[in-house]
Amino acid sequence: MIWLILVLILFGAALLLYMWKEAHGNKVKEETISLNSYPGKGPFTFFFISDIHRRKIHPSVIQAIQGRAEFVVIGGDLAEKGVSFEQIASNLQLLREVAPVFFVWGNNDYELPKQSFEQLLKAHDVTVLCNESFCFQTADGTDIYLLGVDDLSKGYSDKKNAFKRVPNDVFKIFLSHNPLFSKRMIEKDQVGLFLSGHTHGGQIRLFGMGLYKKGGWEWRGKMAMLVSNGYGTSGFPLRLSAKAETHLITIISDE
């Protein structure tokens, strides 16, 4: 009986260590997506990171993307209550060393003092896409429109305003922290790529099941959609079968 208890204790400790390691991984997934709506002459690469929460971005992540990404997208939940502004500033500084940074609000970002948080983003030249759009010109001169909405669960998201200054016949990347916003997209919107996070891929999955679907790619008509597992965690700093991840995404035209 004592041996059984010891075995169970050792197994539990090993499992917790494994889950902690999965939650603190620094994997940069290099992914190429072919889109016939992309008008660029050559490939275009950017970095997507979501749900940082309480984590400090590891230098290995920055080293993997340095000189390769034309811009960086933070898909919400940059931080949460209890995270110091010094740590947030450090993470932003690392990302700004890579390329221009864009940000959409997540639900946990609202746990911070809003005015002070906005001032911090502005101080680090972060472009906030809160029901707004931004036209980014790639190295080869291609115009890419980034559209972002406020967090869906807060009730401030405004799709109409995000599209307000965006021509119909341009390449669009749509950013929403909550993937449920994708249900509001229609074919007429002509969005090429939809990026989100929020779900952490279920964070802890048992026998292939979790509170949410595991992160990954899917198609909604002609729109490619990525739901990221995210980089950080909510609650306990543990993951199981939903590893922490970031994304170096290259877009090419399939025409």
Per-domain residue ranges of the chain? 2-252
CA proximity to 166, closest of 129, 217, 197: 129
Superfamily of domain 2-252: Metallo-dependent phosphatases (3.60.21.10)
Count of alpha carbons within 13 angstroms of residue 55, beta-carbon side: 29
The 10s digit of each residue's pLDDT in 126-161 is: 999 999 999 999 999 999 999 999 999 987 899 999
Residue with more model confidence, 19 or 101: 101
**pLDDT over 70, % of the chain:** 95
Q: What is the mean pLDDT of residues 72-95?
A: 97
**pLDDT over 90, % of the chain:** 81
Q: Are 145 and 133 in contact (CB under 8 A)?
A: yes
What's the whole-number average pLDDT of the chain? 93
DSSP code string of 111-125: GS-HHHHHHHHHHTT
Q: What is the mean pLDDT of residues 61-74?
A: 97
Check residue 9 and give its pLDDT: 62
The encoded tokens of residue 202 equal: 């279920």
With bands split at pLDDT 50, 70 and 90, how would you rate the model's confidence at 207?
A: confident
Residues 6+ apart with CB under 8 A from 174: 147, 148, 149, 162, 185, 189, 191, 193, 194, 195
CA proximity to 221, closest of 43, 44, 39, 35: 35
Residue with more model confidence, 254 or 114: 114
Q: Is the predicted pLDDT of residue 1 greater than 80, yes or no?
A: no
Pairing relationship of beta strands 132-137 and 143-148 according to DSSP bridges: antiparallel
What predicted TM-score, i.e. pTM, was given to this entire model?
0.94
Tell me which residue has tokens 């997507």: 48
